[in-house]
Amino acid sequence: TIWTGVTFEPQACETILRRTYGKMAVKRLHEKHGKKNLVLCGFMGSGKTTIGRKLARLTGLEFIDADIYLEAKEGKKISEIFAEKGEAYFRDRETAYIKELAQKDGIVLALGGGSVLRPENVAAVKETGLLILLDTPFYRIMKNLSYSTNRPLLDKPDKQAETRRLYNARKALYHRVADIAVRSPRLSEVLEKVVKSV
């Protein structure tokens, strides 16, 4: 303002600062970690797609949701693939597409909740990406999943008990494979922590 006489609205300044912050995170991703992609993992309903989209906007990277990518390639919903060909077939296709996506340069990749169950998926994404766990509290996951009807693994009489069982079975694995874990019940805080953690 002193130099040009132009006055910036506080909101515009905030946006510029956030974008600069995002670009600095990408620079650290390349220089400090030697990686070109940011990869989000975590239990279903942990906010990977929501955070991934916001993170991509902030960093200027391209956002890809692995599940949506798989559905587009297969021409079917994941629930249909499960119903017609079973989980084993779905996991094989998932692995093939994750290997394909890991070769991309400059993406924020949101993995499906069960992707990290296969070591080859973890190895593929870690070659080029920093693997970040969204360690979302269980009550928040339940709230997020209450809006979703399209989760074939939770298609059981007691949805909450099945969710808890799967969550407990996978929790330690998520922590073991991730490079960084970020925990907060608030999405805005998660995004900030992810950017700071890179």
Task: Say whether pTM exceeds 0.75.
Answer: yes
The domain ranges of the chain are: 10-197
Q: pLDDT 10s digit of each residue in the chain, 198 long? A: 888 888 888 888 888 888 898 999 999 999 999 999 999 999 988 999 999 999 999 999 999 999 999 999 999 999 899 889 998 999 999 999 999 999 999 999 999 999 999 999 999 999 999 999 999 988 888 887 776 656 555 566 577 788 888 899 999 999 999 999 999 877 778 888 899 889
The CATH superfamily of 10-197 is P-loop containing nucleotide triphosphate hydrolases (3.40.50.300)
Neighbour order of strands in the sheet with 37-41: 62-65, 107-110, 37-41, 129-134, 180-182
